[in-house]
């Protein structure tokens, strides 16, 4: 008699993972993600809450958060989104937010964290305190809080501040790390490291709204004897504060038409 072989089930390797995140307000969650450009693929609020949203190939689902959940702690949930390059995603989201609100949501909650050249990640923090982290695939796997053990002196303090700023989103701690590093090592550090530290600290002063410190650091930078070849090498660092000033300007709402003088300003 003929026999029929049974085809064994196999693991295809084509899995799709969709994070299910807590939500404390359906209206606020929908408003934020739709402002970013996400499309709503499913929406139900009764008899229970369930939302599904999609942007490109990114899918996020939401259910009701626990009563004890405190969004202000910003550790409600989250996921990692691995991409080839983070800068285009950051630009797309900031442009979408500005088109919707007339400003970029850069402080409070919800918000998008800022981006600087060479940075390998940024975050979207939603109204519930979920953290959606976009990470460049070739980002180094090992992080050394306190600064790389391969570095010493001011260079190590600069690396520590970078980790605190970019991976912990802790500008105050990053500023303290640079202040301590400059106090201990500035006199003996190479001029290139001094420029990098002062430029990073000036950027943080602007981010923290400390104009007095920012202006003092800017004047200090301008007096450093920096060779032309080093100035070219450090062009990104020297322009960092200027870029941040522009970024913060974009977080402010456009004035109402009745308040404008002259022709309307072009959006960047």
> Where residue 3 falls among pLDDT bands split at 50, 70, 90?
low
Read off the pLDDT of each residue in 115-137 and give the average, rounded to a whole number: 91
Q: Two tokens at 143?
A: 């992080």
Which of 79, 82, 81 has the alpha carbon at shortest distance from 21?
Answer: 79
Q: Two tokens at 186?
A: 């500035």
Q: In angstroms, what is the C-alpha Rg of the chain?
A: 23
Read off the pLDDT of each residue in 185-207 and give the average, rounded to a whole number: 86
Percent of the chain residues topping a pLDDT of 90: 47
* End-to-end CA, the chain: 76
**pLDDT tens digits, 140-149:** 777 777 788 8
Which pLDDT value is given to residue 106?
80
Residue 62, pLDDT > 80, answer yes
Residue 259, pLDDT > 90, answer no
Assess contact for 117 and 166: CB atoms under 8 A. Answer: no
> Where residue 261 falls among pLDDT bands split at 50, 70, 90?
very low
Spatial neighbors of 57 by CB under 8 A, at least 6 apart, are none
> Where residue 258 falls among pLDDT bands split at 50, 70, 90?
very low
Q: b/e map of 46-58 (b: 16 or more CB within 10 Å)?
A: eeebebbbbbeeb
Residue 266, pLDDT > 50, answer no
């Amino acid at each position: 008699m003929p026999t029929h072989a049974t085809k064994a089930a196999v693991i295809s390797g084509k899995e799709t993972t969709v994070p299910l995140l807590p939500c404390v307000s359906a209206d606020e969650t929908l408003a934020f993600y739709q402002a970013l450009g996400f499309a709503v693929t499913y929406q139900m609020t009764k008899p229970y809450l369930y939302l599904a949203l999609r942007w490109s190939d990114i899918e996020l689902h939401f259910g009701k958060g626990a009563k004890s959940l405190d969004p202000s702690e910003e550790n409600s949930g989250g996921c990692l989104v691995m991409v080839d390059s983070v800068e285009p995603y950051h630009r797309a989201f900031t442009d979408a937010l500005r088109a919707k609100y007339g400003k970029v949501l850069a402080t409070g909650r919800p918000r998008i964290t800022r981006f600087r050249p060479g940075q390998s990640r940024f975050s979207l923090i939603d109204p519930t305190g979920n953290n959606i982290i976009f990470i460049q695939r070739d980002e180094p796997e090992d992080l050394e809080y306190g600064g790389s053990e391969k570095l010493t002196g001011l260079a190590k303090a600069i690396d520590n501040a970078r980790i605190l700023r970019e991976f912990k989103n802790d500008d105050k701690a990053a500023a303290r790390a640079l202040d301590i590093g400059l106090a201990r090592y500035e006199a003996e550090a190479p001029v290139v490291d001094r420029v990098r530290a002062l430029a990073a600290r000036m950027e943080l002063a602007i981010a923290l709204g400390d104009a007095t410190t920012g202006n003092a650091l800017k004047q200090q930078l301008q007096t450093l004897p920096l060779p032309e070849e080093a100035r070219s090498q450090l062009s990104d660092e020297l322009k960092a504060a200027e870029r941040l000033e522009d970024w913060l300007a974009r977080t402010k709402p456009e004035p109402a038409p009745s308040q404008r003088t002259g022709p309307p300003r072009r959006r960047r």
